Amino acid sequence: MNDATGTPDPVFGWLDDTGCLVGADPALEDLHERAGGIPGGRLAVPQIAALAKLAERLGITVSRTIIAADGESDVELHIRAEPERDGIKLAVTGWVMRDPAEPASGDSAMREHDFLRADADWLWETDHTLRLTALSPDAEAMLGAVEPYIGQPLTGLFRFVEGEGGALPILNALAEHRRFERQEAILRPDGAQRVELTAVPLVDGNGRFAGFHGTAVAIEAKSEKPIPGPGEADVPDAFGRQINRALRAPLDRIVASAHSIEAQIDGPIRGDYAEYAGDIARAGRHLLGLIDDLVDLQAVERDDFAPQAENIDLADIARNAAGLLSVRASEKNIRIDRPADDETLPARADYKRVLQILVNLVGNAVRFAPEDSHVWIRCEQEGDLAAVIVADQGRGIAPEDQPRIFEKFERLSASEPGTGLGLYIARRLARAMGGDIDVDSAPGQGARFVLTLPAGT
């Protein structure tokens, strides 16, 4: 592929740990020298140098469209800066020459992907772990400063909203590494603004999934009613709703701010201060999880609690759950062996609640499995029941401890993370839908959890 100037696309360059351009394709080398740089010297294009410095500081791939001076003209470039062992690798695409008075046309990737909405309010991009690597300047109108979000998980900025039938377009797209559109989401900073997301997958030089490049379009709220938070639709009284709202928004801000301090986005700080910020972020995430669990607990213990019964595909939900946990699994080099793409298992249950159960079971498996191991998800028909089996290679659970793990606020060790409510809520949900959850395990032999639900047709 060539750009508007005839420059081969992409163009690569390499910076050492001092910011010197120690290697580059001719087009980038020429741009560096036209900007006043010398061969092998510090990169002389300030916009590219600043992006490389940000990638080095965060330790993640960062991408962004920039406009740099090139003689009497400007050149619009899309820069992807990727940290490597001895410096930063640069990949440059676009190379659109323009008159300095001409307004920028936006990210060059927009022109390459006609699928993306041309009327987007702003752009975003992630790496393969779904951490944000770029937000266009237009996002500042809704978010304020965008830098604190760079390097944060995509879910730290967006809370995804289910469509009809409990569908979440981003889940299937993540599982299959394909494009998606019209994924509704709520911006976490204020908990009120809704946006519609569309994205296409990014692919690296080896053909591997490298993240998403997408657009965000602001949409009006569908009603004047307050937007419910996770589990909030099931909170029966105003007190529970108010507690959920009052705590969630400030905790979201605390976690986002602590992450930006830990990543040293605004400049270097003492190492122990960065560690303190990391501790604050982890504590904030723990409290957010506790809020979710308490709201769900209040819901499942109501006498009139009745999940929806609908026709669902357990195999598809299992694949979605695996996709949601893929980033966490990759951090421990754990492979999640999920049902095949063409496998189906009909059942009658509530889509959202079944997904919640499987995310809990798969998340526990990833949490307790050792590094460089496997987690298996299998689907089976057992008479009039449909079953999903989640197995890991962790330390296992002693027979005498197996009943305890399903009790309220119960953890086998005080050092274990979590609230001790996850499995209690999961089993209550399964039984409310006419199913159950059982465990088969022994010390040193991993754990095997089985979710059963009424079979569908």
Q: What's the CATH number where 361 sits?
A: 3.30.565.10
Last residue of one domain, picked from the residues 198, 228, 258: 228
Q: Among 55-64, 307-316, 372-381, which range has the highest average pLDDT? A: 372-381
Residue 1 domain-assigned? Answer: no
Instruction: Give residue 78's domain range.
Output: 11-101
Domain check: are 178 and 267 in the same one? Answer: no
Residue 444 domain-assigned? Answer: yes
> In the predicted model, what is the mean pLDDT of the chain?
79
| pLDDT reading at 451 higher than 90 | yes
Last residue of one domain, picked from the residues 196, 228, 260: 228
pLDDT at 327: 75
| pLDDT reading at 192 higher than 60 | yes
Residue 415 domain-assigned? Answer: yes
Residue 305 domain-assigned? Answer: no
- pLDDT classification of 237: cutoffs 50, 70, 90: very low
Structural domain tally of the chain?
4
Domain check: are 41 and 148 in the same one? Answer: no
- The kind and range of the H/E element at 70 are strand 62-70
CB 422 within 8 A of CB 360: yes
What does the angle CA 220 – CA 225 – CA 231 come to, to the nearest 5 degrees?
105
Angle at which helices 271-300 and 422-432 pack, to 10 degrees? 30
| pLDDT reading at 196 higher than 70 | yes
HSE-CB of 370 using CA atoms within 13 angstroms: 9
- Name which of 74, 78, 217 is nearest 134 in CA terms: 78
pLDDT at 181: 87
Q: Which residue has the higher pLDDT, 153 or 246?
A: 153
Distances (CA, A) of 368 to 208, 243, 375: 28, 31, 10
Domain check: are 426 and 360 in the same one? Answer: yes
Domain check: are 347 and 291 in the same one? Answer: no
- The kind and range of the H/E element at 283 are helix 271-300
Residue 431 domain-assigned? Answer: yes
Residue 324 domain-assigned? Answer: yes
CATH of the domain at 121: 3.30.450.20
Residue 345 domain-assigned? Answer: yes
pLDDT digits (tens, 9 = 90+) for 255-309: 767 766 776 655 677 777 777 777 787 777 667 666 676 767 777 777 778 888 8
pLDDT at 206: 60
Domain check: are 315 and 445 in the same one? Answer: yes
Domain check: are 179 and 52 in the same one? Answer: no
Q: How far from chain centre, in Å, is Cα 194? A: 18
Q: How far apart are the first and last CA of the chain?
A: 49
Q: Which residue has the higher pLDDT, 64 or 102?
A: 64
Domain check: are 217 and 341 in the same one? Answer: no
| pLDDT reading at 190 higher than 80 | no
Domain check: are 143 and 81 in the same one? Answer: no
pLDDT digits (tens, 9 = 90+) for 125-149: 888 878 888 887 778 777 776 777 8
In this structure, are strands 374-382 and 385-392 parallel, antiparallel, or unpaired?
A: antiparallel
Domain check: are 290 and 320 in the same one? Answer: no
Task: Mark out the alpha helices in 99-228 (DSSP H runs).
Answer: 108-112, 140-143, 169-176
Residue 190 domain-assigned? Answer: yes
Domain check: are 397 and 431 in the same one? Answer: yes
- pLDDT classification of 417: cutoffs 50, 70, 90: low
Domain check: are 95 and 168 in the same one? Answer: no
Q: Which residue has the higher pLDDT, 400 or 137?
A: 400
Last residue of one domain, picked from the residues 167, 195, 228: 228
Task: Report the range of poorest mean pLDDT among 1-15, 220-234, 405-419, 440-454.
Answer: 220-234
Q: Which residue has the higher pLDDT, 143 or 364?
A: 364
pLDDT at 267: 62
| pLDDT reading at 100 higher than 60 | no
Domain check: are 86 and 218 in the same one? Answer: no
pLDDT at 448: 93
